Chain A
């Protein structure tokens, strides 16, 4: 257990950050999949991964 404590801050701030980040990213992921689904439903063959890269940039 000792080594677990070495890199974690005493207030376990990084626990909370990861909990929040994971929740936000989860929602963002569903949103992206939903958008991709809508696009493929209406727009036919659009390359989803290319679009995603552009959004990230």
Chain B
């Protein structure tokens, strides 16, 4: 009888419990969702290392510096697993982003954070056993390490076990972004486990071999990995903490000197070079601020944020603002602006809304797509509609459908056909003219949304709408 109650209990709890699809590679534990919250189970296998993380003072030091996500330890076996040691309830992250959605400086800061954590860990007799950018998230404008189970006891006779992973996941994309183009950040979407050093060695200019750090961390490994037979003798050579610190130090100074190289940027001088008048921008800003003042909520997303002027307005009323743009330079500028300008609740991401990040990884569920991660209270799409409908040939109805799917409230600007910018775009696109007019815009959106407010922006023919999903 007793056994049966236990079984029903267990089944009941397992029903509300969903193992996170990205958490299976590490035998130390796993992440699961339970009653709307994410938990992390620590397995018995990892018990000693977990205890050491706390008893060595490493956890406290990392927490104090805001470098590691805080958690609450629960003595409650929610999964009913035999392997259970402790359950952690980490501080919940509002929006998970992936490295291939970051700008250069976000990836750079995530790399420096990882090395910083490694240095602190060594001080406490522990080491990072993995070093992937997927272990870093951006919270309050700063990178933070989220994998509490990445630490293990340090053995100073061994080199860094995650060295190769660090090189392939951070150094190679950063170096290629610096020598070739920041487009290589996106390569992490195709190679989420890292870009091989041999790949970088073939693409980098000849002169880069003469830079000591690049020679040691890219050209040397690429050469050795093709001649694996010679490598086994290295296992017998002992290592030391000082040697490891020298390597970390060299990696840090390499990363700090890297500067992004961009082959093109379309949008970064938008506000300076725009044909739009200052009066229009000012009137729009006043109007948007006025409307935003009556709203508030948890998550707002600003589509086509440019350098984030309106995302900043939204960040005063919404706890989290996700600001996306197709231009990496804009996102990088916004990231740096938010970092120094106390706009910590804005998360700038390099995402193209016409081609949002797909779901990737094992079974196509390991890393979720951008749209499926979104659940916004407000979507702002200011001066975007003409790029979608005319620039990318997306039908008005499709635009309505996607907004309906991701938000409750919509702040959207319609740029009419007589607007100089749209007229320019429409010049060679007579075919699309029937679809693109204010009447069609309003009827399409009215099918799914109630128009709450509507106002023409002064000194322009553009109109702003506030709509609520039906």
Chain A interfacial positions (CB closer than 8 Å to B) = 2-4, 6-26, 28-29, 56-57
Shortest B244–chain A CB gap in Å is 7
Interface centre among B160, B167, B228 (most CB of A within 10 A): B228
Which residues from 199 to 249 on chain B have a C-beta closer than 8 Å to any C-beta of chain A?
212, 216-217, 220-221, 224-225, 228-235, 237, 239, 243-244, 246-247, 249
Do A3 and B234 touch (CB < 8 A)?
no
Contact with A along B150-170 (1 / 0, CB 8 A): 001000000111111101000
Do B232 and A11 touch (CB < 8 A)?
yes
A sample of 24 cross-chain residue pairs with beta-carbon separation below 8 angstroms, ordered by A number, consists of: A3-B129, A4-B161, A7-B130, A9-B164, A9-B225, A11-B228, A12-B234, A12-B235, A13-B225, A13-B228, A13-B231, A14-B164, A14-B221, A20-B220, A21-B216, A22-B159, A22-B239, A24-B216, A25-B216, A25-B247, A25-B249, A26-B243, A28-B212, A57-B257
- With known contacts A7-B162, A22-B246, A2–B232 Cβ distance under 8 A: no
Interface size on B, residues (CB 8 A): 40
Given contacts A13-B224, A14-B164, 6 further A-B contacts (CB under 8 A): A11-B228, A11-B232, A15-B231, A18-B239, A21-B216, A25-B249
Tally inter-chain residue pairs, CB-CB below 8 A: 100
Neighbouring A residues of B225 by C-beta, 8 Å:
9, 11, 13
Neighbouring A residues of B160 by C-beta, 8 Å:
18
Do B164 and A13 touch (CB < 8 A)?
yes
User: In the complex, A24→B247 CA distance in Å?
Assistant: 10
Shortest B215–chain A CB gap in Å is 9
User: In the complex, A23→B255 CA distance in Å?
Assistant: 20
Q: Is B28 an interface residue (CB 8 A)?
A: yes
Do A11 and B229 touch (CB < 8 A)?
yes
User: In the complex, A3→B48 CA distance in Å?
Assistant: 14
Do A18 and B230 touch (CB < 8 A)?
no
Do A21 and B237 touch (CB < 8 A)?
no
Nearest residue (CB) in B for A20 is B220
Contact with A along B126-154 (1 / 0, CB 8 A): 00011000000000000000000000100
